[in-house]
Amino acid sequence: MRDVIVAANWKMHTTPADAGELARIMAARTREPGVTRVICPPFVCLTAVRDALAAADDPADIEGAGGIQPAAVGAQNVHHELAGAYTGEIAAPMLVGLATWVILGHSERRRDAGETDALIGRKLTRAIDAGLRPILCVGEQLDEREAGAAISVVDAQLRGCLAGHDPVTLVSAGMVIAYEPVWAIGTGRTATGADAATMADAIRRSLTELGWPDAGDGVPILYGGSVTSANIGEFLAEPSIDGALVGGASLKPDELAGIVARAGLTARARGLAS
């Protein structure tokens, strides 16, 4: 049974002074049985968010509350080396104790930091070695979709990022794939649920060809790109889509609460909660 996941990517928003309070509000307003919640703030806010979530979602308080899992903390990136002369960078071992998840290969990093599939593959190794659960982002540009190349672009990204990785290790690390069409990120424009499902099926076909156990069936696939409380239902209605990676809407408590509430319905329908 795959997890139903809502991951909040706060990108370059919030400060250490306000992130904790926002995390506390988010945690309290998104308690849905069977839904895995992850908040990914900027590096400098990880401590504040970790502490706020630990206080808000004390296991002693939510125990017995019908399968509510404490909200988790994720980082938005990690360096591909373990340590060294890399001014301004953060290595995976530095995140231990601060975060349990990490977003890798986000299109904004591919665009702004020149991250390649091979580099993202090295980050994947570092993340897993540090015990972080990776959310690997893939997705095509608009011209690629219009040229009918969306599936082959995502297939090539997967092959590039996953080359040399042992599928069984990545499955045990709980790797998640986020399909984020680049033209849908922050634009208010989304793929359709059917487009996302077609891509999720294609991703699982690629994983099968790459030797994944059970035809990639155990890997959660999220949709990302202008997800809101109003459109999340269209994606979660697709059995192959297991949740969302949410940017802009994840900074608005009403929006995130609505998205997680809809994910709660899916978790119940899929037997993850009663």
Catalytic residue among 106, 108, 144, 238: 106
Catalytic residue among 108, 115, 140, 180: 180
Whether 221 and 241 have beta carbons less than 8 Å apart is answered as: yes
Catalytic residue list contains 106: yes
Is the alpha carbon torsion for 238, 243, 248, 250 positive or negative? Answer: positive
Whether 202 and 182 have beta carbons less than 8 Å apart is answered as: no
Give me the residue label for tokens 């001014």: 87
Q: Which is nearer to ligand PGA, 32 or 180 (CB)?
A: 180
Q: How far apart are CA 184 and CA 232, in angstroms?
A: 14
* Interface pick for ligand PGA out of 227, 241, 259, 273 (rule CB under 6 A): 227
Total site size for ligand PGA, rule CB under 6 A: 13
Q: Which is nearer to ligand PGA, 164 or 186 (CB)?
A: 186
Whether 55 and 23 have beta carbons less than 8 Å apart is answered as: no
Q: How far apart are CA 89 and CA 87, in angstroms?
A: 6
Return the structure tokens found at 110.
Answer: 């591919």
What is the nearest approach in angstroms of ligand PGA to the Cβ of residue 226? 4
Told to check if 226 binds ligand PGA by CB under 6 A, we report yes
Told to check if 232 binds ligand PGA by CB under 6 A, we report no
Told to check if 9 binds ligand PGA by CB under 6 A, we report yes
Whether 98 and 48 have beta carbons less than 8 Å apart is answered as: no
Of 74-113, binders to ligand PGA (CB under 6 A) are none
What is the nearest approach in angstroms of ligand PGA to the Cβ of residue 245? 4
* Residues of this chain that bind ligand PGA (CB under 6 A): 9, 180, 185-186, 224-227, 245-249
